[in-house]
Structures are given as structure tokens and as C-alpha cells.
């Protein structure tokens, strides 16, 4: 065990849950890199989608860093797990990618809700506040955005519709 001078009212269960969330965010960042590199390929060539997913990867990595800084602030220790190879590195168009991303964001959101519940059960209002203000609202926005994109990519279809979606919607 460690002897942090900053640790106060910070239970091991909360520390472990934060570590789990850090690793989930890093996995999402890695997965979004696969989206980026797929859409950046010359035989796929959706440049706005590539940039959109590159930014999504960067954002997930920032989420992990913010959680790691919070863990240190509270006197916890960051523990990293192995990051697995992305489950999908090829997509059947933008609709498939948006559906996959929507599912990922829902998984991340559920994990954050579980973290919030653990914080509540351990009487940690500071952690509850941090998760709610820094993550939950943003996750709701991301889920809505990807749900909209799924609907829109279905509506426009493949071919020219995807091209126009990439060119005019993703920025």
C-alpha cells in the first residue's frame, strides 16, 4: 500500500473504478484511431470522417489523462491494463462506423454511470461531482450526435450520399 498525504475519504473501490474507467477511455482512444486510419486510406478517402475520428481519439485520451490527474489529486495510484487490438478496423461505410461509434459511446457512458454509483455508495460527493460535471453531460451529447449521424447516414445512403455527408456534415 502507498502512503499518500493527499488521500482523504477516498475508498479503494473508488480508486479501482477510476482505474477501470481510465483504461476504458484509453481503449476507446485506440479504437477511434482505427476508425481514423481506415477513413484516411486512399482506397476509402473520407477525409472529414478521418479527421473527425482522429479528434475523437484525442478526446478519449484527454478523458483518460483527466481521470489520471484526478486519481493523483485524491491520493490514488493509476494502474494501467493492456489495451486490446480494436475489434473493428474495417467498416462497411459511414453508417457502419457511426453505429459502431454509437455503441462504443454507450458502453463508455454505462461505465461512467457505474463509476458514479460506486462513488455514491462510498459517500464520495467530490467524485460524484467530478464525474457528473466533467463526463456525463458530454457523454449525453456524444450519444445524441452519433445517433443523429446514424440516422443521417441511413437517410443519405452509400455512394454520393456518403461523399456529401463527409464533405458537408463532418467538420
Q: Is the pLDDT of residue 132 over 90?
A: yes
Q: Is the pLDDT of residue 95 over 70?
A: yes
Confidence of residue 5 (pLDDT cuts 50, 70, 90): confident
Percent of the chain with pLDDT over 90: 94
Q: Is the pLDDT of residue 1 over 60?
A: no
Given this model, what pLDDT does residue 2 score? 62
**Residue 139, annotated as binding a ligand:** yes
Q: Report the 10 Å Cβ neighbour count for 12.
A: 10
Domains and their CATH numbers in the chain: 12-168 (1.20.1260.10)
**Residue 132, annotated as binding a ligand:** no
The stretch 105-132 carries a mean pLDDT of: 98
* Contact between 2 and 8 (Cβ < 8 Å): no
**Residue 105, annotated as binding a ligand:** yes
**Residue 63, annotated as binding a ligand:** yes
Query: Which residues are CB-contacts of 139 (< 8 A; sequence separation ≥ 6)?
Result: 105, 108, 109, 112
Amino acid at each position: 500500500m502507498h502512503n499518500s498525504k493527499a488521500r482523504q475519504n477516498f475508498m479503494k473501490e473508488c480508486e479501482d473504478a477510476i482505474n477501470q474507467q481510465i483504461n476504458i477511455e484509453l481503449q476507446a482512444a485506440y479504437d477511434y484511431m482505427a476508425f481514423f486510419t481506415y477513413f484516411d486510406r486512399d482506397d476509402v478517402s473520407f477525409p472529414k470522417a478521418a479527421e473527425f475520428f482522429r479528434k475523437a481519439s484525442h478526446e478519449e485520451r484527454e478523458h483518460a489523462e483527466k481521470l489520471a490527474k484526478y486519481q493523483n489529486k485524491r491520493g490514488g495510484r493509476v494502474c494501467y491494463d493492456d489495451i486490446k487490438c480494436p475489434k473493428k478496423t474495417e467498416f462497411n461505410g459511414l453508417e457502419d462506423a457511426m453505429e459502431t461509434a454509437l455503441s462504443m459511446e454507450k458502453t463508455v457512458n454505462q461505465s461512467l454511470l457505474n463509476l458514479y454509483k460506486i462513488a455514491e455508495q462510498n459517500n464520495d460527493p467530490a467524485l460524484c461531482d467530478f464525474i457528473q460535471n466533467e463526463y456525463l453531460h458530454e457523454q449525453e451529447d456524444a450519444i445524441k450526435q452519433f445517433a443523429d449521424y446514424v440516422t443521417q447516414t441511413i437517410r443519405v445512403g452509400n455512394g454520393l450520399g456518403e461523399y456529401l455527408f463527409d464533405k458537408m456534415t463532418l467538420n
